[in-house]
């Protein structure tokens, strides 16, 4: 599969088989996340790996769109470190790039994943900060649910929209 087909075939997977991940799979995904671009190469991210069923359940109760977590093999909480960011407002951009790299790596290794947004929803930020006892300079950005897919989704063909393309000015 060429890179364009690979990227355009990635889909959000919310149903999992329940089988555990292989040793080293999470580290491989995290390595890919850490190879994301970041402003001035500051790399202001931290990752919390969650594989305890009790925590997965608790997160599904505090995030309104995380009902798939109890069936997931694991999750990754992507956090931004404002002390390491190029400027205070750059860490979300950098964490978004790391999140996307992890999603693509999961797709490439046969795992299913979905991006669950936390930032900028204050109630989610507060809940995850409290649940994981995050220090004041660390901000929860996204949560990635992971597992072996128990659903298959067709490639979407309705995303490319030429009306959203502008050359040299807004016309």
DSSP-derived letter for residue 16 is B
- Answer yes or no: is 35 within a domain: yes
Can you give the pLDDT at residue 110? 97
- Answer yes or no: is 132 within a domain: yes
Can you give the pLDDT at residue 122? 98
Read off the pLDDT of each residue in 116-126 and give the average, rounded to a whole number.
98
CA angle in degrees (0–180, nearest 5) for 163-169-171: 45
Can you give the pLDDT at residue 88? 87
Phi, psi of 88 (to 5 degrees): -55, -30
- Answer yes or no: is 170 within a domain: no
Provide the CATH number for the domain around residue 79: 3.40.109.10
Q: What does the pLDDT look like over 18-58, one tens digit per residue? A: 999 999 999 999 999 999 999 999 999 999 999 999 999 99
- Answer yes or no: is 159 within a domain: no
Can you give the pLDDT at residue 21? 97
- Answer yes or no: is 162 within a domain: no
This prediction has a pTM of 0.96
75 falls in which pLDDT band (50, 70, 90)? very high
- Answer yes or no: is 4 within a domain: no
Do residues 75 and 26 lie in contact, with contact meaning Cβ atoms separated by under 8 Å? no
What is the strand order of the sheet 74-81 is part of?
45-50, 74-81, 138-147, 112-117
Q: Is the pLDDT of residue 167 over 80?
A: yes
Q: Is the pLDDT of residue 94 over 90?
A: yes
% of the chain beyond a pLDDT of 70 = 100
Q: Is the pLDDT of residue 171 over 80?
A: no
Q: What domain count does the chain have?
A: 1
Read off the pLDDT of each residue in 129-136 and give the average, rounded to a whole number.
98
Question: Whats the size of the chain, residue-wise?
Answer: 171
- Answer yes or no: is 80 within a domain: yes
> What CA–CA distance (Å, rounded) separates 105 from 33?
8
- Answer yes or no: is 21 within a domain: yes
Read off the pLDDT of each residue in 130-149 and give the average, rounded to a whole number.
98
Read off the pLDDT of each residue in 137-154 and give the average, rounded to a whole number.
97
Can you give the pLDDT at residue 1? 83
**Owning domain of residue 140:** 11-151
């Amino acid at each position: 599969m060429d890179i364009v087909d690979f990227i355009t075939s990635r889909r959000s997977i919310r149903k999992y088989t329940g089988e555990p991940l292989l040793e080293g799979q999470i580290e491989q995904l995290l390595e890919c996340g850490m190879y994301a671009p970041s402003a001035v190469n500051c790399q202001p991210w931290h990752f919390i790996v969650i594989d305890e069923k009790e925590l997965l359940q608790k997160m599904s109760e505090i995030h309104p769109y995380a009902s798939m977590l109890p069936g997931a093999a694991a999750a990754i909480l992507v956090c931004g470190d404002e002390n390491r960011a190029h400027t205070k407002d750059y860490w979300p951009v950098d964490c978004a790039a790391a999140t996307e790299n992890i999603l693509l790596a999961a797709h490439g290794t046969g795992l299913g994943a979905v991006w669950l947004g936390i930032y900028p929803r204050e109630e989610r930020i507060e809940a995850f900060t409290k649940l994981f006892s995050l220090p004041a300079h660390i901000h929860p950005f996204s949560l990635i649910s992971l597992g072996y897919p128990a659903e298959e989704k067709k490639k979407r063909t309705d995303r490319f929209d030429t009306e959203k393309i502008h050359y040299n000015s807004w016309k």
